[in-house]
Amino acid sequence: MRPTPHKALGAGALTVAALAALVLPASPAAAARPAPHRAPRPAAACTPAQVVGNGGFENGTSSWTPSSAGTITSRSGQTAHGGSSYAWLDGTGSTHTDSVSQSVTVPAGCDKATLTFWLHIDTAETTSSVAYDTLTARIGSTKLATYSNLDKNTGYVKKSFDVSAYAGQTVTLSFTGTEDASLQTSFVLDDIALDTSGGTAPPGDSTRTPATPSYTVNLSGDTTGTRWTGHESVTFTNASAAALNEVYLRLWDNYHGTCDAMPIQVTGVTGGTAEAPTVGCTALKVDLPAPLAQGQSATIGFDLGITVPSGADRFGHDGAYSFIGNALPVLAVRDSSGWHLDPYTNNGESFYSLAADFKVTLDHPSSLLVPATGTSADTPGAGGRTVTTATASAVRDFAWAAGPFTKISGTSNAGVAVNVYSVPGISSADAQSMLSTAKSAVDAHAGRFGAYPYGELDAVLDNNYWFGGMEYPGFVLDVVSNTALTHEIGHQWWYGIVGDDEYNSPWLDEAFTDYATDLALGKAGSNCWNSVSWASSDEKITNSMAYWDAHSSRYSTVVYGYGKCALHDLRRVLGDTAMTKLLKDYASAHWYGVSTTAEFKAAAQAATSTDLASFWAQHRIDG
């Protein structure tokens, strides 16, 4: 994203265009995802977790298999330990058996796994010596304990068991109550948990999950293209050794509304139980019905409503022209730092997602053109409507626009199909100039970092965008600016193909993209580091968006300007040939993966015999 059009660095008059992501495939054939990045290796490490689903029974039978519909209940006669629901086994006063069970996965690599539950027993039996009615607790093939009418109590008693021996296994946790022919005994269970802890922290890349998401979306747009309704589903795999008990959907564009009037409405969730949205209603937790073990897959689905607000924004409409970025809910990432649930920032980007496949069907009035991420095909719809089906592989997000655009098309010398869509006020000469720029830029970046893998590239032009330009996979929004468009197309590599955590490491896409833009435009960045002046000792190129949101006037200067100048300086240390090889190899190694500052620093150090410690310190690149 280019946050302020035509912004310049002070004394050196250094244009701050757009820097987002530089990473290349090993060869033009790298469009096929390399196996190492699509099948993360197992990690024998512990992510502390509570792996029992719906342990308080507040979500009914979710996660549990009860022997009968009334076993999990909130009816009168007993009370819950916490909340309003509980599992009530037996209590009939006749020959009877009740049970509740669920499959749990105890993460590998954890030193300790502890099962706890709260048990209340009341009985009409009067004996003090005979166990007529019993409750047996089991995990896997192990009988943990048997309780009976002899263990009656006036309230709940907490029970605790060490089940560490089951680390790395998926087993059945069960409670079975058996009652004889007379005199009732009630076994009441609540607040069941299985907590894991200890062991080593999970390693970085191998624990990014949910992995290999595949999204299927069907939406219908209204006559204006500002209201879309339909259904979305996503299938995903747990790549981590730690079980997934939940996933989070990022509803990013709820930033543009309020929690009382959310532009992104998710209802009718299947495959899990949705909780109330948090983080300004941009994060929606979905509890899975059972813990998802490493290598297992699951699917969640939901009905989706999107209302595009007014405004020439990356999510907004400028009159009859709608721009719909970050509107589809996407899965948040859990890695060795936990779930990434950072807030939305309008100053830059907060987005962090793994490479995914999308199939998006958009039913819309035929009067509207609908440029979109991926490769699109149109078929006739009903009653003057068109159905646009867009498919995209190994992309981190999906965006589209809708409106009566003027469209021109061409093909780059390397064979990439390029489409330019314009709103009124963009002259045909400017549109043709931007088409020419797009064709040369996509080939220039591909020549340095690896073949463009996404088939076609759409650029949507509107000089009213306040932000200058914004990147999405295979789809960019831009004002008429050759520099800005070259930058946004550079983001196809640095952020799109080589991913990063944009909230916590914005320099990895913005600085790298601005550096790539300079190279594509023939700029050497001579002496650009000479104009650097730090605002404080806390200011660093590698600071997060939390810092830049608090120091917004310095964001472009430091992250874009100083960031690309640091990379120019690194090129002068390594030499042109070594720097070119470093970036190409680094892109290849992280193709469809995720880059970190530590990994880039290690790769740069490996490319030279010069100790770079003082270079990183001088350029304030930490991590």
Q: First and final CA of the chain: distance in angstroms?
A: 23
Domain membership flag for residue 140: yes
Q: What pLDDT sits at residue 199?
A: 64
Contact status, residue 499 vs residue 473, Cβ threshold 8 Å: no
Domain containing 427 equals 417-496
Q: Which tens digit of pLDDT belongs to each residue from 295-347?
A: 999 999 999 999 999 999 999 999 999 999 999 999 999 988 889 999 999 99
Cis before 210? omega within 30? yes
Supply the mean pLDDT for the chain.
90
Domain membership flag for residue 160: yes
Sheet of 283-292, strand order: 273-274, 283-292, 244-250, 330-331
Taking 3-state DSSP, the helix, strand and coil percentages for the chain, each rounded to the nearest 5, stand at 20, 35, 45
User: Does the pLDDT value for residue 21 go beyond 90?
Assistant: no
Q: What pLDDT sits at residue 5?
A: 39
* CATH number (domain holding residue 445): 3.30.2010.30
C-alpha angle 138/160/117, rounded to 5°? 75
Do 230 and 352 reside in the same domain of the chain? Answer: yes
Mean pLDDT of 396-406: 98
The number of helix segments (H) and strand segments (E) in the chain equals 10, 32
Q: pLDDT confidence of 17, banded at 50, 70, 90?
A: very low
Number of domains in the chain: 4
Do 222 and 365 reside in the same domain of the chain? Answer: yes
Q: pLDDT confidence of 37, banded at 50, 70, 90?
A: very low
Domain membership flag for residue 18: no
User: Does the pLDDT value for residue 228 go beyond 60?
Assistant: yes
DSSP 22: -
User: Does the pLDDT value for residue 554 go beyond 70?
Assistant: yes
Q: Which tens digit of pLDDT belongs to each residue from 54-96?
A: 999 988 998 999 999 999 999 999 999 988 999 999 999 999 9
Do 305 and 238 reside in the same domain of the chain? Answer: yes
Q: Final residue of a domain: which of 404, 428, 461?
A: 404
Do 232 and 371 reside in the same domain of the chain? Answer: yes
Q: What pLDDT sits at residue 98?
A: 97
Do 277 and 178 reside in the same domain of the chain? Answer: no
Q: How many CB atoms lie within 10 A of CB 471?
A: 30
Q: Final residue of a domain: which of 454, 478, 496?
A: 496
User: Which among 453, 254, 447 has a CA at the least distance from the CA of 344?
Assistant: 254
Q: Which tens digit of pLDDT belongs to each residue from 581-594?
A: 999 999 999 999 99
Q: pLDDT confidence of 105, banded at 50, 70, 90?
A: confident
Mean pLDDT of 167-173: 86
* CATH number (domain holding residue 139): 2.60.120.260
Domain membership flag for residue 141: yes
Q: Which residue has the tokens 């914004």?
A: 470
In sequence order, what are the residues at sequence separation of 6 or more whose Cβ sits closer than 8 angstroms to the Cβ of residue 215?
232, 233, 234, 328, 330, 356, 357, 358, 359, 360, 398
Within its chain, how far is the Cα of 103 from the centroid? 26
User: Does the pLDDT value for residue 401 go beyond 50?
Assistant: yes
Q: Final residue of a domain: which of 455, 473, 496?
A: 496
| Alpha helical stretches, state H, 108-185 | none
Do 127 and 261 reside in the same domain of the chain? Answer: no
Do 100 and 241 reside in the same domain of the chain? Answer: no
Domain membership flag for residue 42: no
Do 384 and 273 reside in the same domain of the chain? Answer: yes
Mean pLDDT of 155-173: 88
Q: pLDDT confidence of 11, banded at 50, 70, 90?
A: very low
Do 282 and 135 reside in the same domain of the chain? Answer: no
* pTM beyond 0.85, yes or no: no
